[in-house]
Amino acid sequence: MPNIALLQLTAHTEPKKNIAKTEAAIREAASMGAQIICTQELFTSEYFCTTQDTEHFNLAHPLPGPLTQQHQQLAKELGVVIVASGFEKRATGLYHNSAWVVDADGSYLGHYRKMHIPQDPGFEEKFYFTPGDLGYKAFATRFGKIGVLICWDQWYPEAARLTALKGAEVLIYPTAIGWLPEEKAELGEAQHNAWQAVQCGHAVANSCYIVAINRTGTEGNTEFWGQSFVANHYGQVIAKAPTHEECILTAELDLPALEEHRRIWPFFRDRRIDSYQNLSKRFDD
């Protein structure tokens, strides 16, 4: 039964400081017994999508590249799986919000590109990110088969389902989500509840673990709400981080239990795939 660690951290303006801080946290998590270690969304920088500024494209890096090579060396040294999220420069003028997976032997297993790109006040992501084109993926690691999705993907049951259908036992969501000051008093509790509840629903519907890694701290007008969590296949939250504190949150994943659970609650068996054609429509009118 692997142990997973979620790195809930604040961010600096300088990428080098964030990379060094995250490496230190990875090493600490490994010393605590973690075997799968996950970063928050876009961990190398502050959440720059609050405004539209072409200078922010300078934060992007190639995948694979020097940063992933650094993680390969680190994963091999520590014998851990690393799941990290960053800003991918695919080509001049073409960028993605991506996450990569490095196995415990240091091999680069590949990366996923965020499929659902939001556009809201304080979350100007369509200016920066091209929607993903690699499809939904699951990565066979030393410690289990994991699927990676990113933040806004959290709200879409189709993304969770299709990743689970690839064989993922754990769905990992690097995240950057928080409250805006004009909304928090009236809607803050409801917004957080919706975020946690929908992901717990994905865990139940797909008989898998859900892992959501959020950042913490205030950047500009956004107060990131932390509260990274792990939910099991019953949708029960088995580990949860605080709101305003940095945290290395750990949890044990009972992956063998998923086999028995899926035998008793055979959602995949009973899917009526012959009746879902209209899911490919924008709206069934």
Residues with a catalytic annotation lie at 41, 114, 151
Instruction: Tabulate helix, strand, coil % of the chain (nearest 5).
Output: 35, 30, 40
φ, ψ of residue 65 to 5 degrees: the values are: -170, -165
The strand pairing partners of 247, in sequence order, are 8
Quote the CA–CA distance of 5 and 154 in Å, as a whole number.
19
Residue at token pair 């990113």: 150
Task: Indicate the residue type of 146.
Answer: I
Helical ranges in the chain per DSSP H? 15-31, 66-78, 157-165, 181-206, 256-264
Picking from 95, 96, 66, 70, the residue whose alpha carbon sits closest to that of residue 82 is: 70
3-state secondary structure of 47: coil
Picking from 176, 92, 177, 74, the residue whose alpha carbon sits closest to that of residue 130 is: 92
